[in-house]
Amino acid sequence: MPSDPLRGFLLRTLIWLPICFFAWYYMANLLIWPLVPLADLVLGAALPGVLEAVQLGPREIQFLTHLEVTAPDGRVGTIAFSINPLMYGYNLPLLAALMIAAGETHFSWTRLLVSYVALLPFQLWGVSFDFVKTVIFDAGPEVSAQIGITGWGLEAVALGYQFGYLMMPVISATAVWILLNRRFINSLLVREA
């Protein structure tokens, strides 16, 4: 290991990242299970009457809606689709790798569990905005009209989706790690100075 503590920390983080991502992917259904009732609660309150059911699928969340769509042959049906919540939850293996790389005094299963619970709202944000984005932009104007979001609401949905997909996972993992590891960060800064 390098004698520079910052380089050592970065190297350990790079070593632990693929291991943590493998474990996270392997345990995905267990880790995304709490998102199912949370998404049902939040989306049910935000869009009353839209959801019929929210179910856990293999590494995905399945949404059954009351939104109707007409097929080209005239048949009418309701929309059902799946969302991959792992796109919004890669903050957990990133945070776990950072915690393990910081050393034994900065990692515990309790801290990892607390971090997981702290990261759930950020993952829920991404899943919720993905749902709304899908029914408004991807399902077509017939379905979008049933939701009733127009004007600035459409811009807010697009912004919320992009923020939840591109920035929220990394920002949330970094913020939680910094809050839990201020002593370790201070020790790195003191050594560097």
pLDDT in tens, 116-168: 999 999 999 999 999 999 999 998 888 888 888 888 989 999 999 999 999 99
Name residue 6's beta-bridge partners: none
pLDDT for the residue numbered 2: 45
pLDDT for the residue numbered 1: 43
The secondary structure of residue 48, as a DSSP letter, is T
pLDDT in tens, 50-60: 999 999 999 99
Q: Report yes or no: 89 and 169 within 8 Å, Cβ to Cβ.
A: yes
pTM metric for this prediction: 0.87
**3-state secondary structure at position 166:** helix
pLDDT in tens, 30-55: 999 999 999 999 999 999 999 999 99
Confidence grade of residue 3 (pLDDT, cut at 50, 70, 90): low
Q: What are phi and psi for residue 67, nearest 5 degrees?
A: -75, 125
Residue, of 92 and 104, whose pLDDT is higher: 92
pLDDT for the residue numbered 33: 96
pLDDT in tens, 59-72: 999 999 999 988 88
* Residue that has been written with the tokens 């998404």 in this structure: 39
Sign of the CA dihedral running 24, 96, 131, 44? positive
* Residue that has been written with the tokens 């949404």 in this structure: 63
Classify burial at 110, counting beta carbons within 10 Å of its beta carbon; exposed 0-12, middle 13-18, buried 19 or more.
exposed
pLDDT for the residue numbered 190: 67
